[in-house]
Structure 1
Amino acid sequence: MEKTLNVQGMSCNHCKMSVEGALQKLAGVSAAEVNLEAGSVAVTFDDSKVNVDTMKEVIEEQGYDVEAKI
């Protein structure tokens, strides 16, 4: 399954690495790709192992705000 989340506050490669790294540590996440220009992250995951709320939490723990899902 793939979802795109809007993430505010990402502006540089460090931001990109922080968000992608945090998501990829979650069990069930197979890919996370940040698009800095769009302010979003596309996440490919197994929805039987991880949910969007958990992904939002780990992004917010990195210091970024997650808007409503697309």
Structure 2
Amino acid sequence: MAERTLEVKGMSCGHCKKAVSGALKDLEGVSSANVDLKSGKVDVQYDDAKVGFDQMKSAVEDQGYDVVK
């Protein structure tokens, strides 16, 4: 199991938190996505054999948010 922290711009409320965590959890291989609205960071635990950064970035951006790194 791998861990990565995504820095996401544009999140400000509970809906944002739910949209981002839901989009990530829908990806095969992502076991958890914990959003911290205050810092704009999302801690993701995932199986790197099934999902990578580019897929996670696309899933978040599809919800209307920007992934910085």
How many corresponding residue pairs? Answer: 68
Q: Amino acid of the residue matched to residue 40 of structure 2?
A: G
Residue of structure 1 equivalent to 2:58: 57
Alpha-carbon distance, 1:15 to partner = 0.1
Residue of structure 2 equivalent to 1:44: 45
Q: Which runs of 5+ in 2 are unaligned?
A: none
- Rounded to whole Å, the distance in 1 between the matches of 2:26 and 2:6 is 17
> Is 1:24 the counterpart of 2:40 in the alignment?
no
Q: Amino acid of the residue matched to residue 43 of structure 2?
A: A
Residue of structure 1 equivalent to 2:34: 33
Alpha-carbon distance, 1:48 to partner = 0.1
- Rounded to whole Å, the distance in 1 between the matches of 2:24 and 2:32 is 8
Q: Amino acid of the residue matched to residue 16 of structure 2?
A: C
1:8-23 to 2 correspondence within 5 Å? 8-23=9-24
**TM-score, normalising length: structure 2:** 0.97
- Rounded to whole Å, the distance in 1 between the matches of 2:59 and 2:26 is 10
Instruction: Please give the secondary structure, in 1, of the residue aligned with 2:55.
Output: helix
Q: Which runs of 5+ in 1 are unaligned?
A: none
Aligned-residue Cα RMSD (Å) equals 0.4
Instruction: Please give the secondary structure, in 2, of the residue aligned with 1:2.
Output: strand
